[in-house]
Amino acid sequence: MQRFKQQLIGLSVLIGLVAGLIGGNHTIQAAGTTQSNNIGFSVAAKIPKNQLNQKNSFFDLKMHSGQTQTLKTVIYNVTNRDIKVQTAIHTAYTNGNGVIEYVQPTQSFDSSLKFKMADLTKLSGSKTVVVPANGSKVVTAQVKIPKTTFNGVILGGWYFKRVNEKATSTVKKSMNITNEYSYVIGLKYTLGKVPAPTLQLTKVIAGMQNYHKGIFPVLRNPRAVIISNLNIKTKVTARNSGKTVVTNTKQHAQLAPNSTYKYPLLLGKTNLQAGKYHLHMVVKNSQHRWVFDRNFTINQAAAKKYNAASVDTSGINIIWFIVLGALGMLILVLLLLWLVLWLKRRRQQSQDQN
């Protein structure tokens, strides 16, 4: 829980995502105050009385069946002109890096997820608000908990993104630059008694992550509880020979309530091979320990598909790049040498004529 609190504090008053060039880099920075930063605006939650810990800057609320509540957040504009800010409510999930994701929304959720944060918490008024120059704007969201016997944690985030102004003119042969500035304030609702955590290994498959091929054990948290600070040790061996195919250790993984984690065991330059394999995995934190053993098979079609689509460069391609690069340099040197000799010959012919 302490790990989760540290994470949400870092997310609340502030996650600042500063995107550089189009599709460019994203930087996460921690804001010191709500009134001063280098991206033009900031946000701060108005903490209500049912906050479990008044020291937390995110919404960490004790809720009950049938409860309704209005949440308020202040957007501060520290620039000398009006700005527009888009707002949204996101449901938390576990991303491919083993981190609880509040910023980027997903369309796919685990079947065990009973309540989505985006369904329980609705924005009041327009999703895009104008914040006056050197001023502030209070925005609200309405929470409605249905009548239920649900026990556990519902997790999400209140997202704020500054709207980029359209350019009023164009410059020929120039590259447009788009900056994105955003924050998210954590939303955590606790109802009844939080269940004890459990973890399941649902399957092991071949696949890809960001066009890198690998083997993916799929871990599942089917309960409404945050599982944090996990240490994962994994080993995959060939069942016929006992040869180790890949080993991996990951620390500080986190699983959102009622979510899955497609854990990447990336193979790099090693190709996927069709065959029968065994996975041994130990997952633990300071309070719990799970051990998984699973036989699985990679068929020829899957191996061929992911090897072909992977951006991981094989050794033969690297050799060809080196050869072609060296050949290009050789051609360039020969052309320069020919040019020097040709100029020298022309100069000599000119002197002979004189």
- 350 is a domain residue: no
Q: What is the per-residue pLDDT for 333? A: 84
Q: What angle do CA 48, 50, 53 make, to 5 degrees?
A: 90
- 267 is a domain residue: yes
Whether residue 87 sits in one domain with residue 12? yes
> How would you class 34 by CB atoms within 10 Å of its CB: exposed for 0-12, middle for 13-18, buried for 19 or more?
buried
Whether residue 228 sits in one domain with residue 181? no
Separation CA 310–CA 21 (nearest Å): 25
Length of the chain: 354
- 247 is a domain residue: yes
Whether residue 124 sits in one domain with residue 222? no
**Cα end-to-end span (Å), the chain:** 92
For tokens 């100069």, the residue is: 347
Separation CA 259–CA 109 (nearest Å): 7
Helix, strand and coil content of the chain, in percent to the nearest 5, comes to: 20, 45, 40
Whether residue 239 sits in one domain with residue 161? no
Strands (E), 132-255: 136-144, 152-162, 180-191, 200-209, 212-221, 227-238, 244-255
Q: What is the per-residue pLDDT for 165? A: 62
- 321 is a domain residue: no
Whether residue 145 sits in one domain with residue 112? yes
Separation CA 109–CA 310 (nearest Å): 26
- 61 is a domain residue: yes
Separation CA 348–CA 354 (nearest Å): 10
Q: What is the per-residue pLDDT for 49? A: 95
Separation CA 13–CA 77 (nearest Å): 14
Q: What is the per-residue pLDDT for 33? A: 31
Instruction: Report the candidate in 283, 293, 58, 81 with the shortest Cα–Cα distance to residue 188.
Output: 58
Q: How many domains does the chain have?
A: 2
- 300 is a domain residue: yes
For 11, the domain range is 2-166+175-191
- 296 is a domain residue: yes
Q: Letter for the amino acid at 324?
A: L
Whether residue 145 sits in one domain with residue 81? yes
How crowded is the C-beta side of 132, counted as CA atoms within 13 Å?
4
Structure tokens given for 260: 């899955």
Whether residue 161 sits in one domain with residue 63? yes
> How would you class 181 by CB atoms within 10 Å of its CB: exposed for 0-12, middle for 13-18, buried for 19 or more?
buried
Separation CA 60–CA 114 (nearest Å): 19
Structure tokens given for 311: 């951006």
How crowded is the C-beta side of 349, counted as CA atoms within 13 Å?
6
Which DSSP string do the residues of 31-72 spell out, in sequence order?
A: -S-SS--SSSEEEEEE--TTBS-TT-SSEEEEE-TT-EEEEE
Whether residue 132 sits in one domain with residue 21? yes
Work out the number of other CB atoms within 10 angstroms of the CB of residue 180. 16
Domain boundary among 157, 191, 225: 191
Whether residue 231 sits in one domain with residue 102? no
Domain boundary among 272, 292, 309: 309
In a structure prediction context, what are the per-residue pLDDT tens digits for the chain, which is 354 residues long? 444 444 453 444 334 332 222 222 222 222 223 334 457 899 999 999 999 998 899 999 999 999 999 999 999 999 999 999 999 999 999 999 999 999 999 989 999 999 999 999 999 999 999 999 999 999 999 999 999 999 999 999 999 999 876 544 343 443 444 556 789 999 999 999 999 999 999 999 999 999 999 999 999 999 999 999 999 999 999 999 999 999 999 999 999 999 999 999 999 999 999 999 999 999 999 999 999 999 999 999 999 999 999 998 654 444 455 667 778 888 888 888 888 887 878 777 777 666
Structure tokens given for 262: 């497609």
Show Cβ contacts of residue 265 under 8 Å, excluding neighbours closer than 6 positions. Answer: 214, 215, 216, 217, 234, 236, 246, 248
- 261 is a domain residue: yes
Domain boundary among 289, 309, 329: 309
Whether residue 11 sits in one domain with residue 104? yes
CATH at residue 183: 2.60.40.10
Whether residue 9 sits in one domain with residue 154? yes
Whether residue 147 sits in one domain with residue 95? yes
Strand order of the β-sheet with 244-255 is: 244-255, 227-238, 275-284, 289-298
Q: What is the per-residue pLDDT for 179? A: 59
